[in-house]
Structure 1
Amino acid sequence: MKIILAPMEGVVDPVMRDVLTRIGGIDLCVTEFVRISDRLLPEHVYYRLAPELRNGGRTEAGVPVVVQLLGSDPALMAENAVRAAQLGAPGIDLNFGCPAKTVNKNRGGAVLLDTPDDIHAIVAAVRKAVPSSVPVTAKMRLGNQDKALALDNARAIRDAGADGLAVHARTKREGYRPPAHWEWIARIREAVPEIPLTANGEVWSWDDYCRCREASGCDDVMIGRGLVSRPDLARSISRRLAGEPEQALDWPQLQPVLRGYFERMVREMAPGYVHGRLKQWLNQMKRHYPEAETLFGEIKRLRDIDALRQALAGAEEPAAA
């Protein structure tokens, strides 16, 4: 029963992966997609998007990080998959779910769900090129505009030799609007029982996790926004599965985590991006922590690094009192 940290473009970057896996409960991570368009990418691109490759393909907490590729040219996808594997990626994941208009316009992500034959060609080329010791998996939505080809796409991925499939239980058209159609994942499991399935979508709590597993029939669950909004969610689920006390993190306990995240961004990102990333995370966390909304209001117009640092220090003062 694995809990997998979902790839989220512009959100779950290397810094966020490090922060969340240190808290615990996450068994596997998938990188933001590496976009493959017209060439074999140089090594430095992979090291920038997946610096864990320099650490045996794992975060500092020891959690494996699979490299996700996005593109539509089977030969180029295969060539880049080989490069990622040679650099130490513990697995290759193929993106057939991204809903972004710019990506879809260039025949990447969810738009490929309209053409199962193309999906088959991509997966088959990558599986053939990558050593058998390196798992090749895929992530798909239930469809582009509708669910008519959901089972065909899953069969195409299976027939091409994939080692696993994660299904986001909505179409591209449905975006991220509730509900997630977990029952459709159960239908896909019946259609492709030969490969492991991972359920994804709308898991925000222990109850959601249980209902998702029951409805989908999947042991493994991939969580994205739920883990960003509640950083200890995976740990809490893992502890409950083990029959241990949940030990949820309260807001004061999260302050060192938030401060560490901020300081990592200051060191590793251009100054102009720090404010946006901090604000983005607080905006996600306010779903579970009302204090995050208060802090968001205090920093939303701040740009200066020192001013942001002071605001974070101020948020810690009640916990120290």
Structure 2
Amino acid sequence: MQIALAPMEGLVDDILRDVLTRVGGIDWCVTEFIRVNDQLLTPAYFHKFGPELLNGARTASGVPLRVQLLGSDPVCLAENAALACELGSEVIDLNFGCPAKTVNKSRGGAVLLKEPELLNQIVEHVRRAVPAHIPVTAKMRLGFDSPDGSLVCATALAEGGAEHIVVHARTKVDGYKPPAHWEWIPRVQDVVKVPVFANGDIWSVEDWRRCREISGVEDIMLGRGLVSRPDLARQIAAARAGEEVVEMTWAELMPLIQDFWLQAKAQMTARQSPGRLKQWLAMLTRNYPEAVELFTVLRRETEPDNVSRLLGLPVAEAA
């Protein structure tokens, strides 16, 4: 079984990847999507989204990072994929799942599920452009407004050369509205010979067990569930191995929150960093009552030094 950390735009950046992969249980992670339009991007642009490329394409704890590209031009995507490989990415992932309206309007993400022939062309071009030992993978949804075309899309990706396919078990129109339709995943797996990963609505070990039973697949990708429960991958890995599942306490999580804040404060502007912390804290409130209390205290705070004090950090240390 492989457990992957999902590439969530505007949320799972290098700071959160660092913190979450340190907890354990994650086999690999993916950059936020790197948008490709009509030009070859610069190495600096790739490093902006994946600074881990400067560290052997690994997070600080040694978890492999994959570069994810998004776009609709097969030739330009192929050229940028080749560059990403030169920069150290050991896998190229292609995004056909983003539901954001702004992304879809520019022919990126889930809107391409309306064009299975184009999906095939994109994967084929990228596959030919990168070294033979570099896997090309894809992430898709069940379709744009109906899952009826998901089997055709998955087949197009697999026949194009995708080594595995992550299926977010909702359509674009579904967005993130529950439930995820795990029952469609075995149907996708039936029409392709490559591994299929299940993604969507896995918030707990119990959800994982139900997803595995319904989907019939072992490999999973965790998104919001892992961000809101940082040890979820570790819990699932333990359950899969028949070991005792021990949940992370707030006392164990707090040092990670503090470190997340120190990194955010160092890398972002004074205006941006408090909001970045609040974004993660808001998601942690789903599982930690203490996060509710901390979020309430920090909700209106905009001064970084005050945030540091409320987190129990000396201002000098956080400076």
Structures share fold, TM-score greater than 0.5? yes
Residue 42 of structure 2 is matched in structure 1 by 42
Residue 206 of structure 1 is matched in structure 2 by 205
* TM-score, scaled to structure 1: 0.96
- Whether 1:134 and 2:159 are equivalent positions in the alignment is no
Residue 73 of structure 2 is matched in structure 1 by 73
Which runs of 5 or more structure 1 residues have no equivalent in the other structure? Answer: 315-321
Give aligned pairs, total: 313
Aligned residue identity for 1:291 = E
**Cα distance in 2, alignment partners of residues 100 and 19 from structure 1:** 26
**Cα distance in 2, alignment partners of residues 38 and 253 from structure 1:** 46
- Whether 1:269 and 2:278 are equivalent positions in the alignment is no
**Cα distance in 2, alignment partners of residues 227 and 233 from structure 1:** 5
**Cα distance in 2, alignment partners of residues 175 and 96 from structure 1:** 14
Residue 93 of structure 1 is matched in structure 2 by 93
* TM-score, scaled to structure 2: 0.96
Residue 62 of structure 1 is matched in structure 2 by 62
Residue 318 of structure 1 is matched in structure 2 by none
Residue 166 of structure 1 is matched in structure 2 by 166
- Whether 1:312 and 2:307 are equivalent positions in the alignment is no
Residue 316 of structure 2 is matched in structure 1 by none
Deviation at 1:172, TM superposition (A): 0.6
Aligned residue identity for 2:263 = R
**Cα distance in 1, alignment partners of residues 30 and 209 from structure 2:** 22
Aligned residue identity for 1:209 = W
Aligned residue identity for 2:287 = H
Aligned residue identity for 2:163 = D
**Cα distance in 1, alignment partners of residues 173 and 106 from structure 2:** 17
Deviation at 1:301, TM superposition (A): 0.8
Deviation at 1:242, TM superposition (A): 2.3
Deviation at 1:300, TM superposition (A): 1.0
Aligned residue identity for 2:238 = R
Residue 216 of structure 2 is matched in structure 1 by 217
Residue 115 of structure 1 is matched in structure 2 by 115
Task: Indicate the SS of the match to 2:246.
Answer: coil
Deviation at 1:184, TM superposition (A): 0.3
Greater CA drift, 237-246 or 7-16: 237-246
Deviation at 1:245, TM superposition (A): 2.4
Residue 317 of structure 2 is matched in structure 1 by none
Task: Indicate the SS of the match to 2:243.
Answer: coil
Aligned residue identity for 2:52 = E
Aligned residue identity for 1:226 = G
Which runs of 5 or more structure 2 residues have no equivalent in the other structure? Answer: 314-319
Deviation at 1:286, TM superposition (A): 0.6
Deviation at 1:230, TM superposition (A): 0.4
Task: Report 1:153-302 matches (<5 A).
Answer: 153-192=153-192, 194-302=193-301
**Cα distance in 2, alignment partners of residues 16 and 2 from structure 1:** 20
Q: Note the alpha carbon deviations across 1:124-176, whole angstroms, 9 max, x for none.
A: 10011111111100000001111121111001001111111000000010010
